[in-house]
Amino acid sequence: MKRLARHPLFWPLGALALLLALNAAFNPGFLALGWRDGHLYGHLVDILNRAAPLMVVSLGMTLVIAVRGLDISVGAVVAIAATVAALLIGGAFNAGGEAASEHPLWLALGAALLVAAGCGLWNGLLVVKAGMQPIVATLVLMVAGRGIAQLLTGGQIITVYYPPFFTIGGGFLAGLPVALWIAAALWGGLHFALSRTALGLFIRAIGGNPEAARVAGVRSGAITLCVYTFCGLAAGIAGLIVSSNVRSADANNAGQLLELDAILAVTLGGTALTGGRFTLAGTVIGALIIQTLTSTIYSIGLPPEVNLVVKAVLVFAVMLLQSADFRALFMAAQR
Q: Which residue, 159 or 274, has its beta carbon nearer to other proteins?
A: 274
By CB under 8 A, is residue 205 in contact with other proteins?
yes
By CB under 8 A, is residue 216 in contact with other proteins?
yes
Which listed residue (31, 135, 143, 212) binds other proteins by CB under 8 A? 212
Residue 132 and residue 140: Cα distance in Å, rounded?
11
- Interior CA angle at 305 toward 302 and 306, to 5°? 60
- Shortest reach from residue 57's CB to other proteins, in Å: 24
Which listed residue (96, 217, 301, 303) binds other proteins by CB under 8 A? 217
Stretch that binds other proteins, among 173-181, 193-201, 292-300, 324-332 (CB under 8 A): 193-201
By CB under 8 A, is residue 65 in contact with other proteins?
no
Determine contact, residues 268/289, Cβ cutoff 8 Å.
Answer: yes
By CB under 8 A, is residue 197 in contact with other proteins?
yes
By CB under 8 A, is residue 225 in contact with other proteins?
no
Which listed residue (204, 240, 244, 259) binds other proteins by CB under 8 A? 204
By CB under 8 A, is residue 198 in contact with other proteins?
yes
- Region 241-300 residues binding other proteins, contact defined as CB under 8 A: 276-277
Residue 154 and residue 62: Cα distance in Å, rounded?
33
Residues in the chain, total: 335
Spatial CB neighbours of 322, under 8 Å, sequence gap ≥ 6? 11, 12, 15, 268, 270
Which listed residue (13, 208, 311, 315) binds other proteins by CB under 8 A? 208
- In DSSP notation, 95-160 reads TTS-B--SS-HHHHHHHHHHHHHHHHHHHHHHHHTS---HHHHHHHHHHHHHHHHHHHHTTPPEE-
- List, in sequence order, every residue forming a beta bridge with 99; answer none if it has no partner: 93
- Shortest reach from residue 285's CB to other proteins, in Å: 22
Applying CB under 8 A, which residues contact other proteins? 196-199, 201-202, 204-205, 208-209, 211-219, 276-277
